[in-house]
A and B are shown apart, each in its own frame.
Chain A
Amino acid sequence: MPEMKYDDYLVKSRMPLFWCSGCGNGIVLGAILRAFAKLQLDRHNTVVVTGIGCWGKADDYINTNTFHGTHGRALGFATGIKLANPELKVIALMGDGDGATIGGNHLIHAARRNVDITAIVVNNFNYGMTGGQYSGTTLEETYTTTSQFGHIESAFDLCRLVEAAGAPYVARSHVLNVIQLEGFITEAIRKKGFSFVEALSPCPTHYGRHNGMKTAPKMMQWIKENAITLKEAEKKPQAEWENKFVIGKFTDKESVDYSTRYEAVMALAEASVSKGVSEREG
């Protein structure tokens, strides 16, 4: 395979990106494609799976194999794709509404099951595609088109959620910290087992404008000012950082992924045939 540069994975004919000006999706897309190039992924052995939403359009710009399914179900499709052919690199791209709200149940079960998939969730705190309604990661007391008197639900901490569900690799960064984000994505794809990267991203068009951040720089600034590294947070009392975005690598451990464990099941099953178990049990 000739050496692949990051834009060799880009569908240039579909430029310009359809996302709003000030959206962070293009930055995350760039980080993903640079990670692909760093890992020299074979396009034929890579499948990008997307859901529905602004970030769900990302596969339009990626020239690997793709699967664009239904809202919230990217991980279900990805699970079948991966288990039916464990040689594939499977990367699921989901937004906060898609992957963590309607698809929240699939997210925790994929993490628990430890299928070798990389999930990259772009969290922009709201449903952008449908006009800015609140999602499972919309912050309390903030305003959206469906929380016009202030949001009264608490937001999911996705990294803590996925970590608790058992994923061997969990990290969070944001679009102002592109080098770190790209590094996390690279590590996550390389990781055997379920890996999860959350990228905090601005949505000035829909979330920002209702919360005093009409422009992208303002919303970027807000993310940056409210971010704290995991290392800093660990040194301080919880009260000082519990309402901040904790940035860093939450988990990075070795594990045995689902396909590897299933190989043992297959060996036992084959042995049961030679012992005649299947004949006896009919």
Chain B
Amino acid sequence: MNPNNSIRFIQGNEAIAEGAFAAGARFYAGYPITPSSEIAEISSRRLPQLGGLYIQMEDEIGSIAAVIGASASGKKSYTATSGPGFSLMQENLGVAVMAEIPCVIIDIQRSGPSTGLATKPAQADVMQSRWGTHGDHGIIVLSPSSVQECFDLTITAFNFSEKYRTPVILLADEIVGHMKEKMIIRKPGTYDVTDRKQPACDPADYKPFQADADGIAPLAAYGSRFIVRLTGSTHDETGFPNSKPENADKFIRHYTDKIENNKDDIVMTKEYKLEDAEFAVITFGCSTRSALEAMDLARGEGIRVGVLQLVTIWPFADSQVRALCSRMKAIIVPEMNLGQIIREVCRVNDSGIPVIGVNKVNSEAITPFEIMEQIREVSKCRK
């Protein structure tokens, strides 16, 4: 192996914390909630060792507020939570969108609604992660399916967050968060770390919301030689309120456009045996693991199945999924909810092929056999 890396046998939540440190995150504010608490515990020990700061706030509302504030002071900042806490964070998540403040919110999904089957897994926050905060906006959501991806995607989450000046959600689940498996902690220098763009102009000319040609405005930190005005209210380039319709229109479109216009960079998928496939499983997070196993089982029976893993959930992989629909006979979408990602697959299914969900909300993981059963069914119909 690469001598720069170290092999570890750790939990997904540990790998997420390690990924945050590796990305340069040095501020955590949060509120304890299972199944995410290991991220807080590890951060509370490691951040002060790294010269960073851990604080436990009085609730998740205060936690995300502190995370946003710390990022405005120039520290890469993050929080970790689960369903109930993620619900409480939604209003201030909108502040991070509107004031364009980088931060990473880790949601280790558990069964809901409300307290639900507390601490048991689910994948039912897909739509909340997209539309949970009110108002039109774009958002980046990444979903790991393994402990290695927990580490790698946490780094990517911080990088996207800094690059696009936006909150990024790492949407993991209890299964991936609490699962232990072999992974590699990559050593500094072996992966990219992105830091937010700093203004190059004269401090007198600095406007915190004046976008460069790439559509992203440089963000100076509080305490720098620039005066920084940040706000969750509709503002113009200066950060002062501006309620003129043309100004509101411009900025509200900007929050969506800066994400949607960069889909080529942001949307990540992984393909498994799709080259010769007739049937595809489209999946994400923990269900990817069962999908891959089902794929091998099906191929053992002579059914040509491939898997498309959505690593980036939002923005949705429209063109990849549309293209896949055009060359498959049918698509299976397993998810631990009653059908959230499948709505998006159907939205771009211009070819009108059958799209079949495998949905489970009883807190138990979807098994390879349950996916296999559907594969057998569709393969019979199409023969």
Q: What is A's interface to B at a CB cutoff of 8 Å?
A: 11, 14, 43-45, 47, 49, 59-60, 63-70, 73, 75-85, 87-88, 105-106, 109, 262, 265-266, 268-270, 272-273, 278, 281-282
Contacts and interface: CB of A to CB of B under 8 A. Distances in A.
Nearest to A57: B241
Contacts of A265: 48
Contacts of B57: 76, 79, 109
B216 interface: no
Interface of B: 8, 10, 14, 27, 29, 45-46, 48-49, 51, 53, 55, 57-59, 61-75, 77, 91-92, 95, 99, 221-233, 239-241
Nearest to A63: B227
Given A66-B239, A69-B95, A80-B29, A106 B222 contact: no
8 contacts: A64-B227, A68-B233, A69-B231, A79-B65, A80-B68, A80-B71, A80-B73, A105-B58
Contacts of A81: 69-70, 72-73, 222
A69 B74 contact: no
A277 to B, nearest CB: 9
Contacts of A87: 223
Contacts of A85: 73-75, 221-223
Contacts of A11: 240
A60 B232 CA distance: 13
Contacts of A272: 49
Given A84-B75, A278-B46, A44 B66 contact: no
Given A66-B239, A70-B91, A80 B65 contact: yes
Nearest to A278: B49
A282 to B, nearest CB: 7
A66 B239 CA distance: 9
Contacts of A109: 57-58, 62
Among B8, B27, B67, B222, residue most surrounded by chain A Cβ atoms (within 10 Å): B222
A78 B72 CA distance: 10
Given A63-B227, A80-B68, A83-B55, 12 more contacts: A66-B239, A70-B65, A70-B92, A73-B92, A80-B72, A83-B27, A83-B53, A84-B53, A88-B73, A105-B62, A109-B58, A265-B48
A64 B66 CA distance: 20
Contacts of B226: 44
A266 B66 contact: no
Given A60-B241, A262-B53, A83 B228 contact: no
Given A76-B57, A80-B66, A69 B232 contact: yes
Nearest to B48: A269
Among A84, A268, A278, residue most surrounded by chain B Cβ atoms (within 10 Å): A84
Contact of B69 (A64, A79, A268): A79
Given A76-B69, A80-B73, A269-B48, A68 B232 contact: yes
Contacts of B14: 282
A66 B45 CA distance: 32
Nearest to A108: B58
Contacts of B27: 80, 83-84
Among B66, B67, B68, residue most surrounded by chain A Cβ atoms (within 10 Å): B66
A14 B229 CA distance: 15
A66 B223 contact: no
A69 B74 CA distance: 17
A266 B45 CA distance: 10
The 8 closest A-B pairs by CB, nearest first: A76-B65, A80-B69, A80-B66, A269-B48, A84-B73, A84-B70, A80-B70, A76-B62
Contact of A73 (B65, B233, B240): B65
Contact of B229 (A44, A45, A65, A79): A65
A184 B10 CA distance: 53
Contacts of B241: 60
Contacts of B66: 76-77, 79-80, 83
A269 B47 CA distance: 9
A66 B48 contact: no
A100 B270 CA distance: 50
A60 B240 contact: yes
B207 to A, nearest CB: 14
